[in-house]
Chains A and B, each alone.
Chain A
């Protein structure tokens, strides 16, 4: 077997391990930024009743509103939830991955 083919076989055998903390931070930032942008977009667009549906997030995130301040509160909630989800994903994946 050639060296290149051996290296290809090696790469196919190596399994990625996730860094749970980094995965949590990345997913946290994505979730937080998603909520922030979604909220700010509706605030900037305005209208008689901005964010009639997005405000339903306040059922789970107390204090969240579709306002500029609320978008930052939403970012914090999104980051925390995303971080926990990402860290859980990383930990469970690492436990099972072979």
Chain B
């Protein structure tokens, strides 16, 4: 099972470079597909569980409030079949949320990295020109 330091799984490779491993860890990428699948399974399961708990409990007007989700999830109902449909909807939306979160995070990290690099290059060039003049 992965432990706390497995973020530096490629540490041999990392050590060949001048960057400290912690910096590589901060700037490393999230895997969008993995986060999407994990979030999708989680959201789908939570929605399924929330539905099935109310179905099992029963009563006069089962899931009156939870069934309001059908405003967004067409066909969703607080029934055993509805709970499976809810799982599918939850999985799809969870996947999209996790995938987009990871993509956006990676994009921002890499934009920041390029910004820092360009700024350092500009400063080095400016320093060089100062020395020449």
Interface residue ranges, A against B (CB under 8 Å): 3-4, 6-8, 10-17, 19-20, 22, 53, 56, 59-60, 85, 88-98
Q: How far is the CB of A62 from chain B (nearest CB, A)?
A: 11
Residue of B nearest to A14 (CB): B28
Interface residues on chain B, number (Cβ under 8 Å): 37
Tell me whether chain B's interface is mostly helix, strand or loop, or mixed.
Answer: helix
* B 12-42 to A, binary, CB cutoff 8 A, 1 in contact else 0: 0110011100001101111101110111011
Q: Given A15-B29, A16-B25, A93 and B46 touching (CB < 8 A)?
A: no
A-chain residues with CB within 8 Å of residue B122 when the two chains form the complex: none
Interface residue ranges, B against A (CB under 8 Å): 1-4, 6-7, 9-10, 13-14, 17-19, 24-25, 27-31, 33-35, 37-39, 41-42, 46, 50, 53-54, 57, 65, 110, 113, 117
Cβ–Cβ contact A56 & B2, under 8 A:
no
Tell me whether chain A's interface is mostly helix, strand or loop, or mixed.
Answer: helix
Residue of A nearest to B10 (CB): A14
Q: How far is the CB of B48 from chain A (nearest CB, A)?
A: 13
Residue of B nearest to A12 (CB): B29
Q: State the CA gap A20–B7 with chains docked (Å).
A: 12
Q: State the CA gap A15–B38 with chains docked (Å).
A: 16
